[in-house]
Amino acid sequence: MEKKSNSNRSSAIGGILFFLAGFIGSLIVGWIIFPMVLYSKQPQPLNFSHAIHMNPERVEGIEGDTEIDKCQFCHEFREDGTFVGIPRLSKCTECHDDPDSPLGETKEEKEFLKTYVAAEKEIPWLSYYRQPDCVYFPHIAHVLMGKLQCSVCHGNHGHLDKLPPFEQNRITKYSRNIWGKRISGFKKHSWDRMKMDDCAECHSKTGHEQNNACFVCHK
């Protein structure tokens, strides 16, 4: 009798171990391998350091009283209220105007001067945040009327020193910044994800439910 219940117990333990091994294995596949396969990664054409350009000890002339004014030195609104988005090369050459005289000492800058400024070639940036064409998103309503800080939707991007690779969901084609940082869908910060529900959630929270009709965001 005793022997039998011992072997029952050890086979029960064996079963639990077998279950755990399978469970942990599927967690590894689901949380680490699947997300790695799901997103393709591409490096940006050039490293642009927001940290250096936002630091007045390294770059002079990015003017503005507040942080958000400084951002708008490059990310400005046109006269008609539309948003410039990622600045064009002509913004950079306001300072980097001579490809033969770098402003700093770094090899990144020399590379930038040679490949883009001397060749008068636009930098083919990959946009982390761009929405599909069917979506109407006016920055002016959010920044000037809504008085929201850039970081509410873009986190720390305006102070990054190194640009992360651009990650694109192979199935939906959305960038990871829009589709959501975490595979679980869990949202820790307001900038972790920017899908339709995330837009609507903030409109409801801030008392702008009237903006949650289809035609407001889809023209």
Q: Which of residues 116-145 bind ligand HEC (CB under 6 A)?
A: 125, 127-132, 134-139, 141-143, 145
Which CB atom, from 2 or from 80, has the smaller least distance to ligand HEC?
Answer: 80
Say which residue the tokens 């507040």 belong to.
66
**Which of residues 148, 165, 169, 187 is near ligand HEC by CB under 6 A?**
148
* 199 counts as binding ligand HEC under rule CB under 6 A: yes
Does residue 51 touch ligand HEC according to CB under 6 A?
no
Contacts of 102-108 spanning 24+ positions with Cβ under 8 A: 104/58, 108/46, 108/47, 108/49
Q: Are 183 and 70 in contact (CB under 8 A)?
A: no
Task: Please give the size of the binding site for ligand HEC, defined by CB under 6 A.
Answer: 77
How near is the Cβ of 206 to ligand HEC at its closest, in Å? 4
Is residue 38 involved in binding ligand HEC (CB under 6 A)? Answer: no
Q: Is 71 in contact with 158 (CB distance < 8 Å)?
A: yes
Task: State which amino acid sits at residue 98.
Answer: D
Question: Using CB under 6 A, which of 35, 38, 70, 169 touches ligand HEC?
Answer: 70
Q: List the one residue from 77, 99, 157, 187 that touches ligand HEC (CB under 6 A).
A: 157
Q: What is the CA radius of gyration of the chain?
A: 25
d(CA 142, CA 150): 9
